[in-house]
Amino acid sequence: SMLVGSLNILGDAYNPLEFMDNSESNNTFECNYAKIRSSFMELTSDEVENESCDFGIESDQIKLHLKDSSFCKNCTEIFLERDNKLSLLNRTNLIVCATKPLDDGTPLFRAAGEWRSLIQRQREHYLASGVDIPILLWDIACCLAVEKNLLEYVSVCEKSHLNPENLVLNAERLLKPVSADTEVILAIQEFPKQGSANRAALFKVIKELGMQSLEMGDVGFLYSESITQIQLVGSPLGTEPSDIVAAVQQLLSGLPPLDLGGDELMRLRTTARKTLVMDVGTDLRIVAVHVKEFRTESGTAFLARYLRGACDATRMNIIVGDTNIPTAAKAAVFASSAAECGLHVLSPVGCITTRKRRSELHGQCYDAGKCLRVVEAHKDFVLAFGPPAPAGGCGGWELGEATAHPDLVQEAWRLLPSADWPSDHCMVRLELRRSPLASNP
């Protein structure tokens, strides 16, 4: 037997308070978060101004931005518009970049008591353009809120999956659902970057599990060392949208064409660049995809056709990956289109593979639509396409049940990412068994 799955590994992120964590491993998170959030909400503009003057900012400049006596009420979209533009390397914010490594590799939260001297050293970066004074004020305010709850803050950071001290533990938790007794192929989205600590931790664990890796950009595979006769093909239909559309229409000439606008074609190009296939032996193909979300129903429907085009009609094809389909309605459109072009949807539309609840301690705290709302979706799919099946199998392979880990349907309370499951997506997986009638020399 063989286990085929998909796993989304988080990229670089440094705010351990951005997403609510209700896991057993971080069972004090909500209480500690509430204290830090309360301290932030109680900050006055005078407190922040008094602290800011010590960094050489004129009071008149500060007052231009702090028009309300309650600091948090000044945190509008305009006030925080450069939060994601000023490099975190040049900032000290004990919330937004709490787990950012310092020059010696130590995470910032371990130096929380030194935040004033750290900001002082970065003063020129904050003031260089004249437009980042609001970000300096925001960073100071976050540090003041943390300073009033230092024990609670350190507890959150230590247990967080974003703590670089937990990277090996994270990799162990993500790969725990994989049995060492079964051959495994995992399609990976957001493959850790070369030279990163995250990558080093992942490779330490996969070596212990007897696995290897192949990758193209941030998409790749982890697979058992016992799996041989492998060929890797990137972007099997190319990356030029017009060529892809033409190839798919020729393949599926019996279906009416779908109208894709310019924006959807650009999303198709990005998706094609993040499509990687692994051919195993002579009769199996694994298609890994990390989709740039299609905005329209036509684009979502075409995605299914594109994935059919990535299949090899002479092999059993298993398609796994992150479709970035945001709603149940669009998941239904995708599933219907997949069935229409001959794909078998093995992960039911009712499945949930991501569920998040964003906090109110991040650079978009002004947006009520992005705070404290539970957002869930079926983004990670398992599909199959194969040649006519011999008796008792599908293209020489028997397909088991597609499952998700953790099971967000059964565990309706669980939020991602968390200390227990350090990814914002479930692992979707499918067991394959070779039919007794099949042979693979």
**What CATH number corresponds to the domain at position 293?**
3.60.10.10
Q: How many other β-carbons are positioned within 10 Å of the β-carbon of residue 126? A: 23
Residues 150 and 249 in one domain: no
Question: Based on the domain organization, do 380 and 293 belong to the same domain?
Answer: yes
pLDDT tens figures, 39-93: 999 999 999 999 998 888 888 989 999 999 999 999 999 999 999 999 999 999 9
Query: Token pair 């350190």 is at which residue?
Result: 154
What type of residue sits at position 270? T
| Confidence at residue 391, expressed as pLDDT on a 0 to 100 scale | 46
Spatial separation of the C-alpha atoms in residues 426 and 117, rounded to whole Å: 41
CB 167 within 8 A of CB 428: no
State the burial class of residue 437 (Cβ atoms within 10 Å of its Cβ: 0-12, 13-18, 19+). exposed
Least confident of 120-134, 286-300, 416-430: 120-134
Residue in 423, 356, 399, 434 with CA at minimum distance from that of residue 176:
423
**pLDDT (tens digit per residue) in 130-153:** 899 999 999 999 999 999 999 999
What pLDDT was estimated at residue 98? 98
Residue labelled with tokens 């279906």: 255
Burial of 392 (0-12, 13-18, 19+ CB in 10 A): exposed
The model's confidence at residue 388, banded by pLDDT at 50, 70 and 90, is low
This model's pTM is above 0.85: yes
Cβ(67)–Cβ(76) below 8 Å: no
Query: Looking at 155-307, which runs of residues are DSSP E strands?
Result: 183-189, 211-216, 219-224, 230-234, 275-280, 284-290
Residue that finishes a domain, picked among 159, 176, 209: 159
Domain boundary residue among 159, 187, 205? Answer: 159
Decide which of 135, 159, 183 is a domain's last residue. 159
185 pLDDT above the threshold of 70 = yes
**Cα–Cα distance between 68 and 75 in angstroms, integer?**
10
Please check whether residue 18 lies inside any domain of the structure. Answer: no
In a shared domain, residues 238 and 182: yes
Q: What distance lies between CA 261 and its chain's CA centroid?
A: 26
Percentage of the chain modeled with pLDDT above 90: 85
214 and 89 housed in the same domain: no
CB 303 within 8 A of CB 260: no
Q: Is 172 in the same domain as 155?
A: no
State how far the Cα of 205 lies from the Cα of 211, in Å rounded to an integer.
9
Q: Check whether residue 209 and residue 341 sit in a common domain.
A: yes
pLDDT average, residue stretch 28-49: 98
In a domain, 19, yes or no: no
Structure-block tokens of residue 440: 């693979």
Q: What are phi and psi of 13, to 5 degrees?
A: -150, 150
pLDDT in tens, 210-252: 999 999 988 999 999 999 999 999 999 999 999 999 999 999 9
Q: What is the pLDDT of residue 389?
A: 53
Q: Rounded CA gap, 148 and 35, in Å?
A: 9
Kindly report, residue by residue over 397-419, the tens digit of the pLDDT: 889 889 999 999 999 999 999 99
| 92 assigned to some structural domain | yes
Other beta carbons within 10 angstroms of residue 336's beta carbon come to 14
Q: How far apart are CA 402 and CA 318, in angstroms?
A: 11
What is the mean predicted confidence (pLDDT) over 257-280? 97
Q: Is residue 61 part of a domain?
A: yes
Q: Between 196 and 145, whose confidence is greater?
A: 145
Q: Are residues 401 and 270 in the same domain?
A: yes
Count of domains observed in the chain:
2
Confidence of residue 434 (pLDDT cuts 50, 70, 90): confident
Higher pLDDT, 433 or 395: 433
* Same domain as 271, residue 220: yes
Q: Identify whether residues 217 and 180 lie together within a single domain.
A: yes
CA pair distance 386, 314, nearest whole angstrom: 7
What is the residue range of 422's domain? 2-12+167-434
Task: Provide mean pLDDT across the span 351-375.
Answer: 96
Give, in order, the Cα–Cα distances in Å from 275 to each of 167, 218, 229, 236, 323: 27, 10, 20, 8, 11
Q: Is the pLDDT of residue 274 over 80?
A: yes
Q: What is the separation, in whole angstroms, between the first and last Cα of the chain?
A: 16
Residue 441 is predicted with a pLDDT of 43
Looking at the fold, whether 206 and 334 belong to one and the same domain comes out as yes
Whether 440 is in a domain gets the answer no
What are the structure tokens assigned to 267, written together?
A: 């999303």
pLDDT over 50 (residue 392): no
Give yes or no: residues 228 and 113 share one domain: no
φ/ψ bin of 395: left (φ > 0), alpha (ψ from -120 to 50), beta (otherwise): left
CA 289 to chain CA centroid, nearest Å: 13
185 and 97 assigned to the same domain: no
pLDDT of residue 330: 96
**Token couple for 165:** 């001290």
Both tokens of residue 394? 């599908």
Helix, strand, or coil (residue 403): strand
Residue 104 lies in a domain: yes
Contact of 384 with 346, CB cutoff 8 Å:
yes
Instruction: Flag whether 369 is in a domain.
Output: yes
The answer to whether position 17 is within a domain reads no
Q: In the β-sheet with 284-290, what is the strand arrangement from edge to edge? A: 230-234, 275-280, 284-290, 316-322, 380-385, 344-345
Give the pLDDT band (50/70/90) at residue 345.
very high
Tokens of 219: 């998409």
